């Protein structure tokens, strides 16, 4: 087993600080982590259902207490160690729900004609993490078609092969 990358006392302190937060603030941190880098407040709202002054107060509190950094491009956990500890607090149910909401949010905001390949992969990954293989596969197909259209059939074939290797049933 790997030894921790940080002193156990620091890990315990971070865990204690995270547990002292109200559940809504922990959910905001979890939403930022699930969504990924540069998570803007409107995405936090879409993922958590928090709005208005409640969301404003939670975000302000998280910034003031050093849990997150904020910029014009969005909100992120202050450090990789903090992100690791936040990840450890996410239950399977909450992880599934936040990934589903992230995928749904991205589907709503993309350009319907042809989303960027990065966005399509991101949607596919969120659906996969949420346990929705069919919806994930739809977005992977979009990516594969884009790869072929830009003259990268070998990259598409490699990705398809990797996807097939991860399948756990004939149906998938």
> pLDDT (tens digit, 9 = 90+) per residue, 98-151?
999 999 999 998 866 678 888 999 999 999 999 998 899 999 988 888 888 888
> pLDDT (tens digit, 9 = 90+) per residue, 54-109?
999 999 999 999 999 998 889 999 999 999 999 999 999 999 999 999 999 999 98
Question: What integer is the mean pLDDT of 18-43?
Answer: 94
Residue with more model confidence, 114 or 35: 35
**What does each C-alpha distance from 100 to 46, 105, 106, 110, 136 come to in angstroms?**
11, 9, 10, 16, 11
In the predicted structure, residue 28 carries a pLDDT above the cut 80: yes
Q: For residue 165, what are its two tokens? A: 């290797």
In the predicted structure, residue 172 carries a pLDDT above the cut 60: no
Q: What is the model's pLDDT at position 113?
A: 64
The model carries a pTM of 0.86
Q: What is the model's pLDDT at position 83?
A: 95
- Judge whether 65 and 87 are in contact, CB under 8 Å: no
Residues 144 and 152: their CA atoms lie apart, in Å, by: 9
With b for 16 or more beta-carbon neighbours within 10 A and e for fewer, the 5-25 pattern comes to eeeeeebeebeeebeebeeeb
């Amino acid at each position: 087993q790997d030894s921790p990358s940080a002193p156990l006392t620091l890990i315990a302190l971070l865990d204690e600080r995270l547990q002292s937060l109200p559940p809504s603030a922990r959910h905001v941190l979890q939403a930022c982590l699930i969504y990924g880098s540069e998570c803007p407040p409107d995405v936090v709202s879409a993922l958590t259902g928090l709005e208005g002054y409640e969301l404003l107060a939670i975000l302000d509190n998280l910034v003031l207490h050093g849990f997150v950094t904020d910029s014009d491009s969005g909100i992120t956990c202050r450090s990789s160690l903090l992100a690791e500890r936040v990840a450890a607090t996410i239950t399977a149910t909450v992880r599934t729900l936040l990934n589903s909401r992230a995928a749904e949010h991205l589907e709503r905001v993309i350009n319907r004609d042809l989303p960027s390949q990065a966005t399509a992969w991101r949607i596919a990954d969120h659906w996969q993490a949420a346990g929705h293989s069919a919806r994930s596969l739809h977005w992977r197909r979009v990516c594969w078609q884009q790869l072929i259209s830009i003259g990268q059939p070998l990259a598409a074939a490699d990705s398809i092969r990797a996807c097939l290797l991860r399948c756990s049933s004939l149906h998938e």
